[in-house]
A and B are shown apart, each in its own frame.
Chain A
Amino acid sequence: MNLRLVILILTSLLPLIGNNAELSLPATGIFSKGTNQYKDEVLEITKGRGATIGWYIKAKAEEEVRVSIEYSCAAPLNQDYQLSFDGIDKFWKVVPTENQEFSREELGVFKVRAGIPVLILLVPPSGTKYKHPLRFRKLIVEGTTPDNLSLIPAPEGPVAPTATPGFGTKLTERHPALDVFDIRDEALTLRISGMKMRGENELLFTTWDGNLYSLDLSSREKTQTFRRIAQGLSEPMGLAISGQRLFVTEKNQVTELIDSDNDGDFETYRCVSQDWPCSMDYHEYLFGAVLKGEHLYFNASVGMARRGIDNYQAPLRGSVFRVHIETGETEIIAGGLRTPDGIGQSSDGGILVTDNQGEWLPANKLIEIEKGGFYQFRSTPPWHPLDIPKATPPSVWLPQGEIAASPTEPFIIPENWGPYAGQVLFGDESFGGLQRAFLEKVDGITQGAVFRFSQGFRHHFHRFTITPEGELYAGGIARGKDQEFIHRVSGLTRIRYTGNKVFEPLAARLRSNGLEIEFTEPLAEGSGWNPAAYHVTQWGYQATQTYGGQKVRHRLTGVRSATVSPDRKRVFLELADITPGDVIHVRISKLLRSGEGLPIRTGDLWYTVNRIPDNLPGEVKEAPAITFAEPESFFKYTKGEAGQILFQTYCTSCHSLDGTKLVGPSLKGLAGSHRQLRDPDSNQLLSVEATADYIRQSIMEPNALLADGYPENLMPPMAGILTEKQIDALVDYLAKDSPAP
């Protein structure tokens, strides 16, 4: 018997001899095994994707704990395991063990928070299937305080009220205060990738295929003529203008377009900088372009082509860079981003960035960039100088499918847009529409809320610019394989604010004891005081190296009281629980009315709590004696609609049910139909009946069999986003007319 085995036996006996400061997290107690198999109490892990190897624990008191693993593994792995302990990451290079013997390895030392469910996740490499399993028996959490730690069941997510557009599901219509004109040349597909005003009347825009166009806005004829003024750009994704100087962020360099002889042609493409590594990865882009003084800011996305192989990233990808436009001197401002398609300026001159859910991003993000911030997209070994175990949180989480799917450029709403002026709008390449965010600073940290604003546009907006009159020009883009879809949603739109009165939540501000919601119009007299009119839930996110992420600690939050301000434009919700790092979701009852009798247009807001303000309590008052009669229930709860709501939330950005082609194929008539599929390994075409089993597999492992004509990795693996219970409900909804499997 070797020494390692003796130690292992002794340590495994410790709980029996009274070390009750230690807690075992068994393989048999995890949330989901994915495609891996159990052998007795051991989980044989060959594939990370689809498995959620996690546990919730609770500590009575905060303390330092040591986490170890019991495992065996016959051979080394080409990638590391991740241990995520309440959001703090450690990587573990698996050490092969001898003769299938179990070994115990320490993974890290962490601090456990007191009183709240703490999630521990063991995350295998997600993209690779290994021939030999890692045989996993348990994790051991070792504290020093007896009886402090306990293993608890995963908190059940709260039941959501019945959803309608704007209240639990995506809006379907355009905002009533917006006038919209699509400006299209049906002969061309204009995938707009950069957009700025040059002077007061000239709109310049780049297209993904490498052209720069000019549109004269002084003409308001029914047919407007635009002309190409530059060509041969390499996948431009950002345009910035300073006076007559033009800068473009291309695939691998920042370029100034120069017209030295003033003949209208740009004969020089000056390389301002290309001082960062790049590879041939299709997904390496330089997104956006913001000029501040002498510096140009932009984002570099990470590569994705080798996700399923070794997860290689060229160094420094995922950064916000700034380049001096004269000297080309290049600096890293922040790191840890993934697909930061959007960059813009905040109202106080900060840099705003949006990022896209995926590996290391359990949800989409709106970030006011902190210099030196690291936003958690990691690779091993760390290739980014800013990589630190505790990531910088986003300013606002944008929950996937609920309010965003591929967020694009953020910009500040112009002054003449009524109550919304000064707030942030951003588009979305998949979710469509415009979403609105309100930001505030608490102790110097930016946080805030996101609101539904408008759908009902033809184009999927990517880039924006505002005229001196406050008109918004928005440019659409799409990716995918279906040319009809790409042509349909790409193009230019002019949007004007009309000033029509709309009653909806406008802003949300965190107080020490709750959340204050501001409305665009005063509430009807006597209404808004009933806490039952606000359905409040709360959750956190925990980033992992696998795609997406489920909500953590998803729970109902009690509303102790609701206090309406004297002007009836604000309601303070006194909350029973506010946890730093969590998202507070408020669903306001559809039954509320404005003082003028307007119905409330949208009811959802998501507030991200980075910091709870000290000594800034919201005012709590008793409801006035005379209130108008209110309904018995502000929300309805309908049994059996969970699958439909999940479909509306997570699927409709890419799949229609009416035959319309979007990013992915339409699912019209799916149940029981025969689908033309391609096996990506053999490239063979198969005809497969859409049974419940097939639907489940296509949701959990979309790369296993591909809809013919669609590439790998277009669809995210939903097993990393939805719980098993949610997947059951979604499969049930989609397969309700299928024959029994």
Chain B
Amino acid sequence: MPLLGACVSLSHAGENDATLPFDPARICRLSLNDLPRSISIRQGENVWIGYDLEKATVLKVWQSPAGNPGLIIRSFKAYSKGTSWFEAKETEGWSLSKGGRKAPLAVRYLGSTQQDKHFLLRWELSQAGKKFVLSERIPMSITDADKKVTREVRVEFIEPGEVLSHPMIKREGWELTNSEGQLVPTLTGTQWHRLSLP
């Protein structure tokens, strides 16, 4: 190679790497199982929750194989590995019910935040000019030993008489409880709800 430039050596100060948010070992922002806009979040040591970001819904929940990673990364794509506990079957998405009428909601992903104990995902759900903000908070550690996985859900800007629902809540085994711990069928009010997989 002719006339190479003089060289200054560069040294990587790696001391802060472990504390930086979005550690790929816990939060994987690559496509999951060939779904382009998706994210995978590890809860505890070996439970993974994969989200479909365009539908604002869980795509898959699975447990890593004992002693092995639950995500295989190939050419900037992630693939789940281990025991599947849940895989989304519904094609229907979020809907708004009000006054006996039900309408589908458009979804816009707003982003994610890593907090001390949670990972937060946010979406805007809209219909005919009406906008809600859906937040999902995923505890980074197991919070309920008798549940396989736990998520927390909240809707902002919802008004009395308005109900947000997703078919997954009723039909696919997830339990939705309100802030008092009571089982409920839909999201009403702006308090945090809990969704768990028994």
Residues of A whose CB lies within 8 Å of any CB of B are 172-174, 180-188, 210, 215, 222-235, 250-253, 255-256, 265-271, 274, 278-280, 282, 328, 456-458, 492-494, 660
A180-B6, A185-B9, A222-B9 as given contacts; A230 in contact with B20, CB under 8 Å = yes
- A458 and B8 within 8 A (CB): no
Report the nearest A residue to B13, measured CB to CB.
A227
In B14-49, the 8 Å CB interface with A consists of 14, 16-17, 19-24, 27-31, 34, 36-37
Q: Which of B109-117, B157-165, B189-197 contacts A (4 or more CB under 8 A)?
A: B109-117
CB < 8 Å A-B pair total: 147
Specify which chain B residues have a CB less than 8 angstroms from the CB of A188 in the assembled complex: 12
Q: Does B10 contact A (CB under 8 A)?
A: yes
Residues of A within 8 A of B28 (CB): 232
Whether A231 and B8, one on each chain, are in contact in the complex, defined by CB atoms closer than 8 angstroms, is no
Contacts of A328 in B (CB 8 A): 108
Could you tell me if B110 and A270 are in contact, using CB atoms closer than 8 angstroms? yes
A-B contact pairs, 11 of them (CB 8 A): A180-B5, A180-B6, A185-B12, A227-B14, A250-B29, A271-B110, A271-B111, A456-B2, A456-B3, A458-B4, A458-B5
Interface membership of B145, Cβ < 8 A:
no
CB within 8 A of B14: which of A228, A282, A660?
Answer: A228
Are A251 and B20 in contact (CB-based, < 8 A)?
A: no
Docked complex Cα distance between A265 and B31 (Å): 24
Q: Does B11 make an interface contact (CB < 8 A)? A: yes
CB-CB under 8 A for A235 and B76, given A181-B7, A182-B4, A188-B12: yes
Contact among B8, B29, B111 with A233 in the assembled complex (CB-CB below 8 Å): B29
| Shortest beta-carbon distance from B38 to chain A in Å | 10
Cβ contact within 8 Å between A184 and B10: yes
Out of A226, A229, A265, A267, which one reaches B11, CB within 8 Å? Answer: A226
CB distance from A487 to the nearest CB of B (A): 14
Do A184 and B9 touch across chains, with their CB atoms under 8 A apart? yes
Residues of A within 8 A of B131 (CB): none
Please determine whether B16 and A228 come into contact, CB atoms closer than 8 angstroms: yes
**In contact, A492 and B6 (Cβ under 8 angstroms):** no
- Whether A182 pairs with B21 at a CB distance below 8 angstroms is no
Excluding A233-B29, A265-B21, A274-B54, 11 further A-B contacts by CB distance (< 8 Å) are A181-B6, A184-B8, A185-B10, A210-B24, A215-B10, A222-B9, A228-B14, A250-B29, A252-B31, A269-B112, A457-B4
Answer yes or no: B1 CB below 8 A from chain A CBs. Answer: yes
Which one, B9, B23, B77, B111, contacts A232 given CB within 8 A?
A: B23
- In the bound assembly, the distance between CA atoms of A180 and B6 in angstroms comes to 6
Contact with A along B98-116 (1 / 0, CB 8 A): 0000000000111111110
Q: Which 3 A-B pairs have the closest CB atoms?
A: A232-B22, A180-B5, A270-B111
B12–A182 CB distance below 8 A: no
B75 is an interface residue with CB less than 8 A from chain A? yes
Distance between B68 CB and nearest chain A CB, rounded to angstroms: 21
The residue on A at minimum CB distance from B110 is A271
Residues of B contacting A252 in the complex (Cβ-Cβ under 8 angstroms): 31, 36-37
Whole-angstrom distance from the CB of B136 to the nearest CB of chain A? 14
Q: Mark B64-87, 1 if CB is under 8 A from A, else 0.
A: 000000000001110000000000
In the complex, residue of chain A having the shortest beta-carbon distance to the beta carbon of B3: A456
**Cβ-defined contact, A231 with B7, below 8 A:** no
Among B12, B13, B16, B27, max chain A CB count under 10 A is at B12
Smallest Cβ-Cβ distance to A264: which chain B residue: B16
- The answer for the CA separation of A660 and B1 in the assembled complex, in Å, is 9
Closest Cβ of chain A to B26, distance in Å, is 9
User: Of residues B8, B34, B109, which shows the largest number of chain A Cβ atoms within 10 Å of its Cβ?
Assistant: B8
Residue numbers in A under 8 Å from B110 (CB-CB): 270-271
CA of A492 to CA of B11 in the docked complex: distance in angstroms?
A: 12
Q: Which chain B residues border A230 with CB–CB below 8 Å?
A: 20-22
- Residues of B contacting A235 with CB < 8 Å? 76
Q: Which residues of A contact B19 (CB under 8 A)?
A: 265
Evaluate contact between B76 and A234: CB separation under 8 angstroms. yes
Complex CA–CA separation, A226 to B23 (angstroms)? 19
Task: Write the nearest CB–CB distance from A62 to chain B, whole angstroms.
Answer: 49
Q: Are the CB atoms of B2 and A255 closer together than 8 Å?
A: no
Give which listed residue, B2, B8, B31, contacts A280 with CB less than 8 A.
B31
* Given the contacts A227-B16, A278-B37, A181 and B5 also touching, CB distance less than 8 Å: yes
Chain B residue contacts of A227, Cβ below 8 A: 12-14, 16
A362 to B184, CA, bound (A): 62
State in angstroms the CA–CA spacing of A184 and B11 once bound together: 8
- A458 touches which of B1, B22, B29, B115 (Cβ 8 Å): B1
Cross-interface CB contact of A226 among B10, B20, B34, B53, cutoff 8 Å: B10
Q: Which residue of the partner chain B has the closest CB to A215?
A: B10
Q: Is the CB of A253 within 8 A of B22?
A: no
Nearest-CB distance from A206 to chain B (Å)? Answer: 13
Cβ-defined contact, A225 with B13, below 8 A = yes
Decide if B6 touches A267 in the complex (CB within 8 Å): no
Instruction: Choose among A231, A233, A271, A494 the residue with the greatest number of B CB atoms under 10 Å from its CB.
Output: A271
The CA-CA distance from A547 to B54 in the complex, in Å, is 34
Q: Which residues of A contact B75 (CB under 8 A)?
A: 282
Question: Taking the nearest CB of chain B, how far is it from the CB of A272, in angstroms?
Answer: 8
Give Cα A529 to B84, complex, Å: 80
Closest Cβ neighbor of B37 among chain A residues:
A252
Q: Name which residue of chain B comes closest to A272, CB basis.
A: B111
Do residues B36 and A492 form an inter-chain contact, with CB atoms below 8 A?
Answer: no
Q: Which residues of B contact A251 (CB under 8 A)?
A: 30-31, 36, 76
Interface string of B54-66 (1 = CB under 8 A from A): 1000000000000
Contact B13 A226 (CB under 8 A): yes
**Are A183 and B2 interface neighbours, CB within 8 A?**
no
A399 to B29, CA, bound (A): 38
Q: Is the beta-carbon distance between B8 and A174 smaller than 8 angstroms?
A: no
Whether A181 contacts B8 in the complex (CB less than 8 A), given A210-B24, A232-B24, comes out as: yes
Contact: B10 with A173, CB < 8 Å? no
CB distance from A130 to the nearest CB of B (A): 29
Q: Tell me whether A269 and B111 are in contact (CB under 8 A).
A: yes
Give the shortest distance, in Å, between B141 (CB) and chain A (any CB).
18
Q: B115: which A residues are within 8 A, CB to CB?
A: 267
Q: Which chain B residues border A279 with CB–CB below 8 Å?
A: 36
Asked if A172 and B2 sit within 8 Å, CB to CB, the answer is yes
Picked from A184, A232, A271, A456, the residue with its CB within 8 Å of the CB of B27 is A232
What chain A residues lie within 8 Å of B31 (beta carbons)? 251-252, 280
Q: Which of B11, B17, B37, B76 contacts A274 (CB 8 A)?
A: B37
